[in-house]
Amino acid sequence: MVVGELAEERELVIIGGGPGGYHAAIRAAQLGLSVLLVEKEDMGGVCLNKGCIPSKVFTQLARKHKEMSHYQKMGLDSGDVSVNLSKLQDYKNSLIAQLKKGVSSLCEANKVEIVKGTASFLSQNKIGVENGHSFTVYSFQSAIIATGAKREQPSFIPAYSSRILDEFSIYELSNLPEELAIYGNSYIELEAASSFAALGTKVTLVLDGELPFDDSINKELTRVLKKMKVKLLSGFTPDVSESLEGVSISLEKEGSDSVTLETSYFFSARKLKGNLDGLGVDRLKMSLTEDHFIEIDETCRTSIPGIYAVGDAVNSSPLAVKAIRQGKVAAENAAGLPSEYDGMLLPDVVQTIPPVASIGLTEKEAAEEHDISVSTYSMGGNGFAQLIGEKEGLIKVVSDSSSDLILGIHMIGSGAVEMISGAAVGMEMAGRDEDFSYPYYPHPNTSESLQEAMEALKGKAVHLPPVKQKEYSV
């Protein structure tokens, strides 16, 4: 292939149309830049097409299925409720198609030019885009890499198959498994364990280390999973093999007898590495981490002037919320506006049943640097949570005992995902406990639990016995 000297000029080129890429494109277009977005597969990236949306379709079905027994007690005469995963797949595919069309329409409305193809850097200010037999060269003033991450098969899995599932294929099942063994402890494995257990599958969860949340949330989530009849194992290393009848998992633990599980299906999510193959960053001598992620500064700039990187292509949390913020920061810097990314108050959300949401420091982390006060409020004390049959869970607040600055908020329970947004706003504004407890909270609503958790720091919570809300320091 011969590449000529002529190049089409664009102010900003973005490689990748996932959450980081298309948010960057639209933000840059809002600021008046001519934007070219190159996507080799589908707009919306892994998040929309294979990850966030497909998995949440399942978690929402599972949540509603679990809720049915409570609403039948309230008088909803619905008869026998069954789960039809084949119909769910049709709904999921229709939803994804609709959302993809929406993303493309938004880009078009903002005059973002979308080009299908595979991009690679030819120099610090040129890329080539290959699509079939065509190859086009573009010059640019700035570029944003939003290519996401690639996934590597764990060494203990011989090969993925119809019974050995990865984080995408598990949400393509058209029939509900009778049994499912899961290995891992990230939000991906936890959501799958919770969802399939709620739908009636016999689930065994083999944890890869400790649960990743504050200790109080870990304890409550463990209790909830066991109540859902999820069998929990930890400290084992798996060896997986497939047979005609199902999957055999040999679990080894130092100083302990091995355990063998026979199950219908096995699931474990793959590990992530930067998706830079064929991108040409080696030609530019761009600084990378040992795991092949791109190194960036607080403005999302790479080591190459004028080139930025966002989302899963850079290290740290593989979350769409991170990619979205970084995409906007990179776009603003490319347009000449001062903008920085700070991941300190990045909220974590896990759509288990009930959901988990947290922001800021855990109790252990805070105690290493501060004299702290801690309060915990049970969701069972909230009247609306009882009304809707969602009494499981708690809210934990960690504050600096001298300044009353809120350092961390950790929740498990109905409404946790919605409440964490308000928590994020308050903590971004350096809120103290009175800043959270003073405003009016709608009644009745599960959000009142957050207010009472804040009030409990000073012994003011009404729906919590005095002995359970004494202020203490660590």
Tell me, yes or no, whether 210 and 259 share the same domain.
yes
CA 178/CA 24 separation, integer angstroms: 43
Tell me, yes or no, whether 34 and 182 share the same domain.
no
The more confident residue out of 218 and 133 is 218
- Give CA torsion, residues 48, 51, 53, 54, to 10 deg: 120
| CATH assignment at residue 371 | 3.30.390.30
**What is the tally of structural domains in the chain?**
3
Tell me, yes or no, whether 362 and 412 share the same domain.
yes
Tell me, yes or no, whether 130 and 189 share the same domain.
no
Mean pLDDT estimate for the chain: 94
Active site residues: 443
Q: Is 191 annotated as a binding residue?
A: yes
Q: Is 280 annotated as a binding residue?
A: no
Q: Is 209 annotated as a binding residue?
A: no
Last residue in a domain, options 212, 235, 269:
269
Confidence check: pLDDT of 471 > 70: no
Does residue 81 lie in a domain region? no
Note the pLDDT tens digit of each residue in 347-402. Answer: 999 999 999 999 999 999 999 999 999 999 999 999 999 999 999 999 999 999 99
Tell me, yes or no, whether 169 and 296 share the same domain.
no
CA 73/CA 54 separation, integer angstroms: 30
Tell me, yes or no, whether 29 and 169 share the same domain.
no
Closest CA to 114 of 45, 24, 37, 40: 37
Last residue in a domain, options 250, 269, 288:
269
Nearest-5° Cα angle at 142, 19 to 20: 5
Q: Is 56 annotated as a binding residue?
A: yes
Confidence check: pLDDT of 119 > 80: yes
Domain that holds residue 464: 354-468
Last residue in a domain, options 269, 292, 309:
269
What's this model's pTM, rounded to 2 decimal places?
A: 0.94
Q: Is 184 annotated as a binding residue?
A: yes
Note the pLDDT tens digit of each residue in 137-195. Answer: 999 999 999 999 999 999 999 989 999 999 999 999 999 999 999 999 999 999 999 99
Tell me, yes or no, whether 123 and 97 share the same domain.
yes
317 pLDDT band, cuts 50/70/90, is confident
Does residue 297 lie in a domain region? yes
Tell me, yes or no, whether 278 and 239 share the same domain.
no
Q: Is 382 annotated as a binding residue?
A: no
Provide the pLDDT for residue 265.
97
Tell me, yes or no, whether 170 and 147 share the same domain.
no
